[in-house]
Amino acid sequence: MTHDVVTALTTLSEEERLFAETVRDFAQKEIKPIVMKMDEEQVVQKDLIPKLFELGVMSIEIPEKFGGVESSFFMSVLAIEELAKVDPSISVLVDVQNTLCINLFINFANDTLKEKYLPQLATNKIGAYGLSESTSGSDAFALTTTAKEDGDHYILNGRKLWITNSNEADIFVIFANVDPSKGYKGITAFVVERGYEGFEVGKKEDKLGIRASSTCELILDNVKVPKENIVGELGKGYKVAIETLNEGRIGIAAQMIGLAQGSLEHAVRYTKERKQFGKSLIDFQGVQFELAKMATEIEAARLMVYNAARLKCEGKDFVKQASMAKYFSSEVAGRVSGKAVELHGGYGFTKEYPVEKLMRDSMIGKIYEGTSNMQLMTISKIIANEIN
């Protein structure tokens, strides 16, 4: 057994430990053999998605009455971490499904929407979260997509950009403004299904990392959406977006610690096998110290992520801890994966070994679901209010 989530922390319950082991075994058997193929082809292998549903990682918090696992947010964090050790692309697919889409439905949807969409998300449908636009990234509330009332419907027009899971998703949560004169107080969340007339999944981005994960443009051209598809209150979409993203940041942080742990494990194995000057690289003190520093940073980041997740599960304020965890874990993932490439020497710079992919994948951690600078702004504002 590797030194990871199971052996590193004693705070995991037996149920949590067994769940993490199950996801880890699945990742090794079902995902690891196809990681590089999916990265090269920039697509999730189709037969993998039903297996993820069967495993239960696509419906972790959905109640059993809707066909879900009815487990905790913390279990989602464990699943995201374990999957990211092998492939961050699959990890983020599961992450967005759970920490953004499903959480949004559970926390904000009325009973009718829950009864309609949660059983689908629990069994075979993937969700996507449509907030970002070309002019609204960090300034998410500068979005220009509009929703005009039309009898029993709203007519949506606009374009979304950088939307994760777009190629695979059938259920989209789209944020649009019902009254631009009110600014962010006009933003409302709508459920849009793939088959709605005028709705189109556009160009897939050709990315540096997490290449199997689909990131696409969404085009809304007079899309007719029933009023009953509003999630939360009319004009309160900004609240839905903020609170959902606060939770989502813990998921991204979990992805980054998994990625870092995977990089460390590859580095340890390689330095044990690689010999120079008559002995294994790991026998050199300089290499030992680098591995020790990598492991220490990962452990610190993991504790921050788990702490944020536990606070969220206990219903306590977790926003500062979530931002800290995302900021720090993405920094750690970049440093650790980069060092893993260095420790592999020339091989690390080739696609023959997986560390170059993990290094590429790590770059997104500082960008999506709130850039590092946005996390620092959030943290600084909170501590300014906390300290007199």
Catalytic site positions: 369
Element (DSSP H or E) covering residue 174 = strand 171-177
Q: Residue for token digits 């990315």?
A: 207
Q: Which alpha helices (H) appear in 200-318, and where do they start and end? A: 237-273, 285-313
By the 8 A CB rule, do 95 and 103 touch? no
Other C-beta atoms lying within 10 Å of the C-beta of residue 136:
17
> Would you state the structure tokens that stand for residue 42, as one six-digit string?
């920039």
Report DSSP state, residue 179: -
Rounded CA gap, 257 and 205, in Å? 25
Residue type, position 263, single letter? S
By the 8 A CB rule, do 220 and 158 touch? yes
Residue (of 99, 114, 320) closest to 228 by Cα position: 114
